[in-house]
């Protein structure tokens, strides 16, 4: 029998042709509705390989159910949804999709920053609601971007790409990261700063930090209180790095001016989410890398990784490299 591969969302057939030509492949029959937990567990029991989404919980229970499971290809740069220790213990290769989505996510980050600053979504809704009856000097007036200070928390490849865009807007660039980036400092003019300096001095505080034990709830009420009242908070990293109740209160009290959010603590969120009630919040449904070209490249990379592992070769982008030793 051919090895069995389960894909947790529906994808275009042409993007997974490498798999369908060689293996038995089944896809969950929805593009944007997650497979129920019982389905994931049942499929894991049969699968040799899985292509999963960041919202799929690939924990010890699921991995232990996968008696034949050899590879989990996560369609994301992040992999905090996968229990790496449990996968490694069982000899299961975990892969991700780094590098291929850097520029696309940076585009979205800067677009969200500009949309929040210039009230783009609010203005579009205003005209669609037939509220535009005349012109006034401060009608839907937002904040300038050019010449301001951006503070980037999490200066990985996406952070550096955002910094390059900020340089084109004549912005001063502060950044905080676990390690300094001398090349970015030299080429882009980014200035390494403490976390406190970033949040107190920046006009735009941009979180691109991965989710770790250290970064969970990094942005608290105390942090928002340190920001300028005119500052705008942008999060395109991970939702749980933010205390969402603290962010809501800071926005409601006017401690910060606005927020642009592509990620949330628990996803998907519903229309009743408190942050969505605030006109100063520009919210997106986790679409950081969602361009047709980039998502297609990501799927093909996942497919290639599954194929090579099930064929006995080494995949391109392994997260738990120790499993190959």
Please tell me whether residues 61 and 127 are part of one structural domain: no
- Between the CA of residue 322 and those of 31, 61, 124, 247, what are the distances in Å? 33, 21, 50, 39
Please tell me whether residues 245 and 316 are part of one structural domain: no
Share of the chain above pLDDT 70, in %: 100
Please tell me whether residues 139 and 49 are part of one structural domain: no
Domain range for 166 is 102-283
Q: What is the pLDDT of residue 318?
A: 98
Please tell me whether residues 220 and 236 are part of one structural domain: yes
Mean pLDDT of 102-111: 98
32 vs 287: CA distance, rounded Å? 12
Q: What is the pLDDT of residue 1?
A: 85
Please tell me whether residues 8 and 96 are part of one structural domain: yes
CA geometry: angle 183, 185, 186, nearest 5 deg: 65
232 forms beta bridges with 204, 258
Q: What is the pLDDT of residue 44?
A: 98
273: left (phi over 0), alpha (psi -120 to 50) or beta: beta
**88: CB partners within 8 A, 6+ apart:** 94, 320, 322, 323
Give per-residue pLDDT as tens, 23-38: 999 999 999 899 999 9
SS3 at position 261: strand
Residue 231's pLDDT band (cuts 50, 70, 90): very high
Share of the chain above pLDDT 90, in %: 99
Q: What is the pLDDT of residue 155?
A: 98
Q: Can you give the CATH number for the domain in which 93 is found?
A: 3.40.50.720
Give per-residue pLDDT as tens, 45-72: 999 999 999 999 999 999 999 999 999 9
**What amino acid positions are annotated as catalytic residues?**
238, 267, 286
Answer for the pair 227, 233: CB distance below 8 angstroms, yes or no.
yes
Please tell me whether residues 131 and 246 are part of one structural domain: yes
Structural domains in the chain (count) = 2
Please tell me whether residues 147 and 256 are part of one structural domain: yes
User: What element of type H or E holds 155?
Assistant: none
pLDDT reading at 162 higher than 90:
yes
Please tell me whether residues 23 and 72 are part of one structural domain: yes
CA geometry: angle 271, 293, 106, nearest 5 deg: 65
**297: CB partners within 8 A, 6+ apart:** 97, 100, 101
Please tell me whether residues 180 and 39 are part of one structural domain: no
279 vs 269: CA distance, rounded Å? 17
Please tell me whether residues 240 and 173 are part of one structural domain: yes
pLDDT reading at 325 higher than 90:
no
Please tell me whether residues 49 and 182 are part of one structural domain: no
Mean pLDDT of 128-143: 97
DSSP 75: S
Please tell me whether residues 144 and 192 are part of one structural domain: yes
pLDDT reading at 136 higher than 90:
yes
Give per-residue pLDDT as tens, 7-16: 999 999 999 9
pLDDT reading at 132 higher than 90:
yes
Give per-residue pLDDT as tens, 176-211: 999 999 999 999 999 999 999 999 999 999 999 999
């Amino acid at each position: 029998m051919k090895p069995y591969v389960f894909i947790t969302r529906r994808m275009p057939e042409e993007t997974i042709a490498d798999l369908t030509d060689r293996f038995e492949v089944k896809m969950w029959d929805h593009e944007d509705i997650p497979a129920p937990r019982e389905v994931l567990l049942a499929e894991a029991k049969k699968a040799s390989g899985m292509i999963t989404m960041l919202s799929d919980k690939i924990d010890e229970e699921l991995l232990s159910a996968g008696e034949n499971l050899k590879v989990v290809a996560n369609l994301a740069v992040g992999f905090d949804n996968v229990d790496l220790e449990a996968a490694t213990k069982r000899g299961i290769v975990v892969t991700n999709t780094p590098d291929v989505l850097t520029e696309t996510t940076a585009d979205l980050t800067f677009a969200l920053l500009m949309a929040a600053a210039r009230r783009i979504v609010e203005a579009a809704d205003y005209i669609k609601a037939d509220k535009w009856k005349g012109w006034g000097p401060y009608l839907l007036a937002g904040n300038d971007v050019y010449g301001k200070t951006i503070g980037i928390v999490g200066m990985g490849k996406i952070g550096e790409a955002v910094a390059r865009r900020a340089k084109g807007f004549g912005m001063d660039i502060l950044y905080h990261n676990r390690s300094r980036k001398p090349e970015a400092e030299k080429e882009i003019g980014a200035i390494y700063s403490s976390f406190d300096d970033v949040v107190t001095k920046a006009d735009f505080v941009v979180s691109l930090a991965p989710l770790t034990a250290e970064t969970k709830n990094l942005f608290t009420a105390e942090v928002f209180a340190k920001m300028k009242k005119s500052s705008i908070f942008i999060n395109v990293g991970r939702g749980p790095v933010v205390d969402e109740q603290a962010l809501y209160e800071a926005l409601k009290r006017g401690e910060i001016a606005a927020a642009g959010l592509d990620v949330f603590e628990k996803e998907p969120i519903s229309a009743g989410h408190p942050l969505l009630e605030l006109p100063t919040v520009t919210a997106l449904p986790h679409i950081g890398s969602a361009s047709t070209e980039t998502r297609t490249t990501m799927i093909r990379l996942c497919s290639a990784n599954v194929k090579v592992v099930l064929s006995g070769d080494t995949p391109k982008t392994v997260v738990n490299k120790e499993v190959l030793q």
